[in-house]
Amino acid sequence: MSLTEEPAGATSQWWRGAVIYQIYPRSFCDSNGDGVGDLRGVTDKLDHVASLGVDGIWLSPFFTSPMRDFGYDVSDYCDVDPLFGTLADFDALLARAHQLGLKVIIDQVWSHTSDQHPWFQESAASRDNPKADWYVWVDAKPDGSPPNNWQAMFGGPSWTWNPRRRQYYLHNFLVEQPDLNFWDPQVQDAVLAAGRFWLDRGVDGFRLDVINFIFHDKALQDNPQAPYERPPRVPVLYQRHIHDRSQPEALAFLGRLRAMMDEAPGRMTVGEIGDEDPIARQQEYTAGVHRLDTAYGFNLLDARHPTSALFAGVMARWDNASGWPAWSLSNHDVDRYPTRLAGDDPALTRLLMAILVCMRGTTFIYQGDELGLPQGHVPFDKLKDPFAKAVWNGGAFRDGARTPIPWEPEGPAAGFSSNPDTWLPLDPAHRRLAASVQESDPASMLNFTRQLIAARRVSDALKTGDVKILSLATGLLGFERHAPGEQVICLFNLTRDAVEAPVADSAQVLLAINEAWAEGDGHVRLPAFGGLILSLEP
């Protein structure tokens, strides 16, 4: 498929109000018995994904990589790592997804590469080769110390000494993940060419990893200290990151990216934004028609207290005139939400999924959330993630969100693999939540998730309508969604006490959560963690 061809059935803004299912290939399904998930395994399970009623998938990195950060350290942007399969396997996955009516967006990790990428190998060889300036190289201070105080996300300084060039290079993450120098137009050309390669293969869009990290302050000014009451868990949190990320020049690059995407109708971009005020930065990166389509941050992903103020607050910031947000409760970078937010309470887990699906924006559901999987237990000696090891305090952190998906309750690896020795250990507690077990239970989390997504799919108000936050008693979250000819009211009780809330007598129940009910007397009854999605006469 050429870049200018539109995928079958594409619409220019299909992503507005879409529900997209994130797949972390290493942990989804292993087709060849090596204990690691792969692209053929993903293809084998796409029927399950399609049965949820979602609009598409986001596929985490499957590119050639030494796997120091499990694919987020790319050594070839335009090929598949043999661990996951081949380009033919990807093409087969893409074709099957499109056959099932699923869009496919893929990660693009452009802020940095692996230190094994040929670009870096050439750049590090000398100060005068054609790619000498493709990475951020800086001389040492007169005393030999790094050029400034910038701290890397995974711990330690953002600078590492290279003895061949006798210079430091910048890395916002691992030492093995050197930052590309986006001040060099050739770098921008090269990463856009990589993106064009995948667009030409027919992908429907990109999730752009840490896209606000692509530029740094040329003057290399020190970052100021961040306020804190107790010492943070990693040095990066001691600083306000005003010079090593979110530079204004990134917006011009987004314009170049948008121009390329506009040549490919029906494709979309979603940016990952990590910043001091992520919503403000997301709005900046999605403003107008020359930037990203949507963006998400960590307001909900980092949250640990599911209050009505949390959800009302983020929705109010993204008012109806402020662009289009994206939301998720879990992903591969954070503890799973049933544990982190719901405290492993099944009723609250359901309620939070309902809130997510009803929010204005594009919804991302992480693999296993439809099963209500709690955070997986991984003993320290089995941890693989370098960040999980760096911040270990007794929990598995990112590895606990990356354990294999249980497809069956029995078998050596619960249907994930024929090999009991999987890359991360399967949590035995997950077996009882296996997809096959929940498939036959009408009251399961799996079937509840399907009901939620089905309700959203048939409602213009829930998909793309405006939102109005309601003023209700403490602990109650209420908001209206409006579209031409349709009005929906969403009520959620985030407390353990039964409560009542007023509604119009004409309200009709579209979906009840955790045995909430409406009696038609102008009030609804919401038990602990109960909720209602109601249709009102416009």
Judge whether 115 counts as a catalytic residue: no
Judge whether 209 counts as a catalytic residue: yes
* Same domain, residue pair 479 and 424: no
* Same domain, residue pair 23 and 44: yes
Which amino acid makes up residue 281? R
How far is 460 from 96, CA to CA, in rounded Å? 28
Whether the predicted pLDDT of 101 surpasses 50 = yes
DSSP 211: G
- Say how many Å lie between the first and final Cα of the chain, rounded: 44
* pLDDT value of residue 538: 67
Provide DSSP, 477-502: EEEEEEETTEEEEEEEE-SSS-EEEE
Determine, yes or no, domain membership for 201: yes
Q: Are 79 and 63 in contact (CB under 8 A)?
A: yes
* Same domain, residue pair 390 and 241: yes
Q: How many domains does the chain have?
A: 2
How far is 413 from 399, CA to CA, in rounded Å? 17
- Condensed to tens digits (0 to 9), the pLDDT of residues 169-191 reads 999 999 999 999 999 999 999 99
- Condensed to tens digits (0 to 9), the pLDDT of residues 347-379 reads 999 999 999 999 999 999 999 999 999 999 999
Of 61-65, 135-139, 316-320, the one with minimum mean pLDDT is 316-320
* pLDDT value of residue 23: 99
| CATH code for the domain of 528 | 2.60.40.1180
* pLDDT value of residue 322: 84
Determine, yes or no, domain membership for 13: no
Q: Are 398 and 71 in contact (CB under 8 A)?
A: no
* pLDDT value of residue 4: 40
**Domain end marker among 421, 454, 487:** 454
Which amino acid makes up residue 263? E
Strands in 19-23's sheet, in edge-to-edge order, are: 294-296, 268-272, 205-208, 103-108, 56-59, 19-23, 362-366, 326-328
Whether the predicted pLDDT of 19 surpasses 60 = yes
3-class SS at 496? coil
* Same domain, residue pair 421 and 291: yes
> Using H for helix, E for strand and C for coil, what is the string for 367-431?
CCHHHCCCCCCCCHHHCCCHHHHHCCCCCCHHHHHCCCCCCCCCCCCCCCCCCCCCCCCCCHHHH
Neighbours of 443 (CB within 10 A): 8
Determine, yes or no, domain membership for 132: no
* pLDDT value of residue 298: 96
* Cα angle: 136, vertex 151, 387; to 5 degrees: 105
* Same domain, residue pair 510 and 443: no
* Same domain, residue pair 427 and 471: no
Cα–Cα nearest to 292, from 305, 306, 281: 281
Q: Are 134 and 181 in contact (CB under 8 A)?
A: yes
* Same domain, residue pair 434 and 336: yes
Cα–Cα nearest to 273, from 252, 313, 302: 302
* Same domain, residue pair 349 and 489: no
- Condensed to tens digits (0 to 9), the pLDDT of residues 242-289 reads 999 999 999 999 999 999 999 988 999 999 999 999 999 999 999 999
Provide DSSP, 247-259: -THHHHHHHHHHH
How far is 461 from 456, CA to CA, in rounded Å? 8
* Same domain, residue pair 385 and 531: no
- Condensed to tens digits (0 to 9), the pLDDT of residues 23-82 reads 999 999 999 999 999 999 999 999 999 999 999 999 999 999 999 999 999 999 999 999
Give CB contacts under 8 A, 24+ apart, made by 502-506: 503/534, 503/536, 504/536, 504/537, 506/536, 506/537
Find residue 328's DSSP bridge partners. Answer: 364
* pLDDT value of residue 8: 40
Across 388-411, average pLDDT: 93
* Same domain, residue pair 330 and 446: yes
521 is written with which tokens? 């007397």
Determine, yes or no, domain membership for 3: no
**Domain end marker among 431, 454, 477:** 454
* pLDDT value of residue 62: 98
Strands in 137-138's sheet, in edge-to-edge order, are: 137-138, 167-170, 159-162
Q: Which domain holds residue 443?
A: 19-113+185-454
* pLDDT value of residue 234: 87
Determine, yes or no, domain membership for 501: yes
- Condensed to tens digits (0 to 9), the pLDDT of residues 453-488 reads 999 999 999 999 999 999 999 899 999 999 999 999
Determine, yes or no, domain membership for 230: yes
106 is written with which tokens? 């893929």
Q: Which of 47, 189, 249, 263 is catalytic?
A: 263
**Mean pLDDT across the chain, nearest whole number?**
95
Determine, yes or no, domain membership for 289: yes
Whether the predicted pLDDT of 87 surpasses 60 = yes
* Same domain, residue pair 275 and 361: yes
Of 22-26, 95-99, 392-396, 439-443, the one with minimum mean pLDDT is 392-396
Determine, yes or no, domain membership for 150: no
Q: Which of 209, 284, 370, 427 is catalytic?
A: 209
* Same domain, residue pair 299 and 341: yes
Which amino acid makes up residue 235? P
Q: How far is CA 247 from CA 81, 180, 214, in A?
A: 32, 14, 8
**pTM score > 0.75 for this model?**
yes
**Domain end marker among 400, 430, 454:** 454
Provide DSSP, 231-242: --SSGGGGB--S
| CATH code for the domain of 322 | 3.20.20.80
